[in-house]
Amino acid sequence: MSVRTRFAPSPTGYLHVGGARTALFNLLFARQHGGKLILRIEDTDEKRNTPEALEAITDGLDWLGIDWDEGYGKGGNFGPYRQSERNAIYEKHFAVLQAGGHTYEDAGAIRFRSPRKTVTVDDLVCGKIDFDMSNPVTHPDMTIRRPDGSWIFHFVNVVDDLEMKMTHVIRGEDHLSNTPKHIELYQALGAEPPKFAHIPLILNHEGKKLSKRDGGSSLSYFLENGYVPEAVLNYLCLLGWSPGENRELLTIAEIQELFSLDGINRRNAIFDLDKCFWLNGQHLQTMALERFVALSRPFIVKAGIVATTDEDLLKALTIVKPKVKHLSDVPAWIGFLFTEDYPFDPEAVEKSLRKPEALDHLRALGAALATLTEWTHPAIEARLKETAAAAGLKAGPFVHPARVAVSGKAVGPGLYEMLELLGKDRVLARFQKAEQLP
């Protein structure tokens, strides 16, 4: 059978970066071997499951571009793909265990009777590990069914992987200690276990397991703060895996080509939001303009910025693209281009417009630009430098007041590109407005 991997989240909260990484590694492995990724929803915990959490999981996977081949929302030959709808399947396998004498009742719960032998886990990442299961004190018989009749994770997880014909189970190393128990269940059911690969945990800078209190632990953090999917995927793949040769900046196509379980580290991964921020900036710089526009648009709409035409918006995004590090920053970079009611940064005003002779330089520049017949970047730049030279000065004393006058800020896209985009009439009007600031 061809390779079949799975991502099996529980819809009880946000999509954790660890879960997203697990989904990614399973996708990469399946794609490399011409196999399939299956999405299974482990929703047996009725009290904690929420529709919002399920939607957050699927939306997060969609945003990252992790496209599963079979499972929840897509169907397939091994459904249903929600555990809450698979009770009849669990009853069938439970009966097999009962008939084989592998279960017993304990205070209303049903436990699985361990064979009390050494179980060898031949892990594709961690190597061969022997687990001595003989001591009932350190390895008590596991519960597989609660007194209320609901199922425990270990049992339904094994049954689902068996029924859905999983060939490989790639999951976090925190599940490694569960694996010998799962192998015991496979053996009791007369089935061959899949191959296991346990990937390193993701820890915070304190060396503790990454939790919801840590910034960036939820995938929603990256959506809300303007990260691009390409950068987050790039960063996720580096959490515990390395392509070698100190390479870090990778496209999804390169990741798919280079990925292998052999490249997964045994050391736990340290979550570094600064590195993800750097990768985000790098991917934004190399991104096609059309992609940048599409990803920026939701943030622009949310900020209430309205461009007269798509062409105007395209021009604005073209000149700010080299500066943007987060998509959420785009509105602040372009907002002044689409309104005359833009705010002035008091510090920028004090530094660039309150200096002696700053307004004189602004008036002189305005007068010089007013006579321009060709309103283009090169012509504007040449006229500003001519005006500065005539005053016996460098360009700076004219550039800085002009920038603050037209944008209200001391930083932004290139001045000449800004002036060209705003147009002659708006620039001259903004110069006059700056002169009248209180």
So which residues are the catalytic ones?
212
Residues 38 and 36: their CA atoms lie apart, in Å, by 6
Closest CA to 116 of 102, 98, 127: 102
- 8 Å CB contact between 84 and 43: yes
Which of 53, 52, 69, 66 is closest to 10 using CA atoms? 53
- In this structure, what are the phi and psi dihedrals at residue 420, rounded to the nearest 5 degrees? -60, -45
Instruction: Tell me how far the alpha carbon of residue 196 is from its chain's centroid.
Output: 25
Report cis status (omega within 30 of 0) of the bond before 80: yes
Which residues fall within 8 angstroms of residue 202, CB to CB, at 6 or more apart?
Answer: 17, 18, 21, 209, 210, 239, 240, 268, 269, 270, 271
3-state SS track over 362-399: HHHHHHHHHCCCCCCHHHHHHHHHHHHHHCCCCCHHHH
Provide the phi-psi class of 122: left if phi over 0, else alpha when psi is between -120 and 50, else beta: beta
